[in-house]
Structure 1
Amino acid sequence: MGSENAVSDKKRSYVYFPNLDGIRAIAALMVVVSHIEYHKNLFNLQRIGIPNLQNMGKVGVTIFFALSGFLITYLLMVEKGEFNRVGLKDFYIRRILRIWPLYFLIVIVGFFVYPRGASKEALWLSVFFMPNLAFCLQMLPSIFDPIWSIGTEEQFYIFHPHIFRIKKPENILYALVGITLALITINIIVRSIQNHNQFLSDLSLFLYYARFHNMMVGAIVAVLYYNTKHPSFKFKLQSAFELMFNKYVQIVIWICFILFVYLYTLSEIPQGDIVISVLAALIIVNLCETSSSIFSLNNSKLKYCGKISYGIYLLHKYPLYLMLYIAQTYLSSVGLFWQNLFIYVATLIAVIALASLSYYGFERYFLRFKSRFQKVSQNKQAVSS
């Protein structure tokens, strides 16, 4: 698009973390696997005897939120650092071009084509980016209810970039920490006093699905990480944060993450998503440092799935329901192994195929315009996702 861009290449900065596409891919596939097991009950199919699988989705979503908060914040810090300001108008246009086309396509299909029949209240809540409230009130049809998290992200974007109007980076950090602690405190208080009060129970559920605190955790880690690259202030735990890049500390973080995810998916742990978002954010920041990271997710297949992960996440239940229906109708007499082999392989192939069609046949058309509003791009050669 060259000379047509509102922001020329000479005025653009490039930031690219090759491992983060792999994180997107893993998080999206965790959601798919979780929903395969979770929705087997709808089709009277036997679940695999691993209780953790059906709860992996909430871990995948938490990783998505931490990653979103981290990456958006880091890019905003780079833009502010190199251009002395954050272009709010351009920020919102970029988010619209990335999120709205597929989101509204699913809203149109879900409410008017298949499955149809949802309430007008759910439709209007979805149109005005409150599907998380519709989800909490059990108004959304299950087949496209992943849109709830898009509402959460859009609500987060309303206020988050305005924090970067603050001049000093250390004050940005303090604001993020203060807001995060306030959100966590409100969550804990409401959850602890909700006893048999319907309004407080509904509020507690909505606050859980708001998940702003998960994104804010990623945002805090992003500011700390940016400060290690572009030192502008010192904070008391700076040396402790820089220890995160030590390989032995990384091993401890990974072990803690795996153990906690195992326990969290086995039984509900109050506010466990906060712990997962913290550990996920620390893993994300280590994966950004490819030279010191003990793992690499810079794999071509993972990168591809990461690129189309938005479509994987939003669209996966349509092919999933189809494969579960086929298994119920035509494979009820085969063994559990062969039935599940078909469900998992066919679902993953169909989900990736549909997400690919969505990305290359629909989403990419809008993403081509995104670079016109980017001072900080994530990729020099490809359309940013």
Structure 2
Amino acid sequence: MSGEAESVPKKAYLYFANLDGIRAIAALMVVLSHIQLHKKLQGIQHQDLIDFKNFGKIGVTIFFTLSGFLITYLLLEEKKRFKKVSFKAFYIRRILRIWPLYFLLILVGFFVYPAEGSMHALWLSLFLMPNVAFCMKLLPNIFDPIWSIGVEEQFYIFHPHIFRQKKVQNILYTLTGILIVLVALNLTVRYYQYQSQFLLNLDLFLYFTRFDDMMIGAIVALLYFNTKNNCFTFGFQSAFNLLLNKYFQMALAAAFIAFICLFVHKEIGQGDLIISAFSALMMVYLCEPGTTNAFFGNKAVAYCGKISYGIYLLHKYPLMLMLYIVRNYIPPASTFWQTIILYLGTIVLVVLLASVSYFGFERYFLRMKSRFQKITSNKLAATNAA
């Protein structure tokens, strides 16, 4: 024994290869949903082979669940490797990742194009409450996807502080307690919603404040972390370990797809919680080291996941451009070709615009963000820092 304190590494390595694929699917589901919605609003009536109506709700739910899952796992990993969570570094990382494109879109949307929206909507958006403006129908629809960014930012205000607790088991109790309260509140308000306008508005607000989905992701991430670190034992440990079995995951995926098919055609009360639970449980297997997935690991899918923030926030601009082109330059009688060109053109333009955003704007801030990262996906950087 040298008598010196054990050195703490500056960075640690952790990489979940398949999560970019999940981001890509979630973002593209939102895009497809909005293409179908706005196509119908513009009177392009060709029947789609697949009903994408509720794809957007599914995609957003997956995004929220993934956010809760990944943030929680990273915070637990930081707490284990570095003995504490650096809250200052956490908030700087979130600011550098989210704020630049978010505030750029606010600037463009309110003052350049479409240069619409009330002052109330502007102030709510500037103070990270665009979900409130969205519920009040104050946001112009071309940039209304910002509502979910406000939800995530609000979640980040309190979530990291749960990890001040020393015992991982106590963190689990806290997360579970918050989830129970949120679900009970949602169910109660939904049951009594028609008794007053206030309850109707509250029900709408609660739906667009999806902390319950993020809590589900957080709880599953904590239980998954526990399988690696044995922080505590719990009654369902053996059942949870089934998630690491590929055949069980195949059955889970089949059940998930069946539920999505049902949800797409008929909305189900609190169905987002079921979607959140399915997606979080599948993330466990997809995060396993060495797990390869022909679809999620595909280079094109992974690339779309990498630029998914831009795809999600910016997609309505290319969509509106393609709607203008299709309405004015494709004969109305050719509704089939209108639909094909609209879908393909929008997706291509969305990927191009998101790529420009990522490499021409976001990446500058991402490089700054890397200085404050405790957990890196770059193995070489972690090795050099140690």
TM-score range, shorter chain: over 0.9
TM-score by length of 2: 0.94
Q: CA deviation at 1:336?
A: 2.7
Q: Are 2:79 and 1:54 equivalent residues in the alignment?
A: no
Q: CA deviation at 1:338?
A: 1.6
Give the alignment of 1:21-100 within 5 angstroms: 21-50=20-49, 52-100=51-99
CA–CA distance in 2 between the matches of 1:74 and 1:44?
45
CA–CA distance in 1 between the matches of 2:331 and 2:289?
47
Partner amino acid, structure 2, of 1:57 = G
More displaced stretch, 297-306 vs 38-47 = 38-47
CA–CA distance in 2 between the matches of 1:47 and 1:167?
58
Query: Could you say what secondary structure the match of 2:115 adopts?
Result: coil
Give the corresponding residue for 2:186. 187
Give the alignment of 1:165-180 within 5 angstroms: 165-180=164-179
Give the corresponding residue for 1:313. 312
In structure 2, do the counterparts of structure 1 residues 318 and 267 end up closer, same or farther at CA, with 3 Å as the change threshold?
A: same
Give the corresponding residue for 1:203. 202
Partner amino acid, structure 1, of 2:198 = F
Query: Could you say what secondary structure the match of 2:134 adopts?
Result: helix
CA–CA distance in 2 between the matches of 1:48 and 1:56?
16
In structure 2, do the counterparts of structure 1 residues 15 and 296 end up closer, same or farther at CA, with 3 Å as the change threshold?
A: farther
Q: CA deviation at 1:9?
A: 11
Are the aligned partners of 2:130 and 2:150 in contact in 1 as well (CA < 8 Å)?
yes
Q: CA deviation at 1:51?
A: 6.3
CA–CA distance in 1 between the matches of 2:380 and 2:20?
15
Q: CA deviation at 1:297?
A: 1.2
CA–CA distance in 1 between the matches of 2:312 and 2:228?
32
Q: Are 2:276 and 1:277 equivalent residues in the alignment?
A: yes
Q: CA deviation at 1:275?
A: 0.3
More displaced stretch, 267-276 vs 238-247 = 238-247
Partner amino acid, structure 1, of 2:303 = Y
CA–CA distance in 1 between the matches of 2:91 and 2:147?
19
Query: Could you say what secondary structure the match of 1:85 adopts?
Result: coil
CA–CA distance in 2 between the matches of 1:23 and 1:274?
17
Are the aligned partners of 2:252 and 2:282 in contact in 1 as well (CA < 8 Å)?
yes
Give the corresponding residue for 1:226. 225
Query: Could you say what secondary structure the match of 2:191 adopts?
Result: helix
CA–CA distance in 1 between the matches of 2:177 and 2:43?
47
In structure 2, do the counterparts of structure 1 residues 290 and 80 end up closer, same or farther at CA, with 3 Å as the change threshold?
A: closer
Give the alignment of 1:219-298 within 5 angstroms: 219-291=218-290, 297-298=296-297
Partner amino acid, structure 1, of 2:103 = F
More displaced stretch, 239-248 vs 318-327 = 239-248
Are the aligned partners of 2:133 and 2:139 in contact in 1 as well (CA < 8 Å)?
yes
CA–CA distance in 1 between the matches of 2:60 and 2:248?
25
Partner amino acid, structure 2, of 1:133 = V
Indicate the percent of aligned positions where both proteins have the same amino acid. 60
Q: CA RMSD in A?
A: 1.7
Give the alignment of 1:107-118 within 5 angstroms: 107-118=106-117
TM-score by length of 1: 0.94
Q: CA deviation at 1:144?
A: 0.3
Structure 1: tracts of 5 or more residues without a match? 1-7
CA–CA distance in 2 between the matches of 1:152 and 1:55?
20
Q: CA deviation at 1:131?
A: 0.4
Query: Could you say what secondary structure the match of 1:114 adopts?
Result: coil
Q: CA deviation at 1:310?
A: 0.1
Are the aligned partners of 2:44 and 2:339 in contact in 1 as well (CA < 8 Å)?
no
Give the corresponding residue for 1:363. 362
Give the corresponding residue for 2:4. none
Q: CA deviation at 1:49?
A: 3.8
How many residues are matched? Answer: 375
Q: CA deviation at 1:267?
A: 1.2
Q: CA deviation at 1:268?
A: 1.4
Partner amino acid, structure 1, of 2:89 = D
Partner amino acid, structure 1, of 2:241 = E
Q: CA deviation at 1:379?
A: 3.1
CA–CA distance in 2 between the matches of 1:357 and 1:301?
16
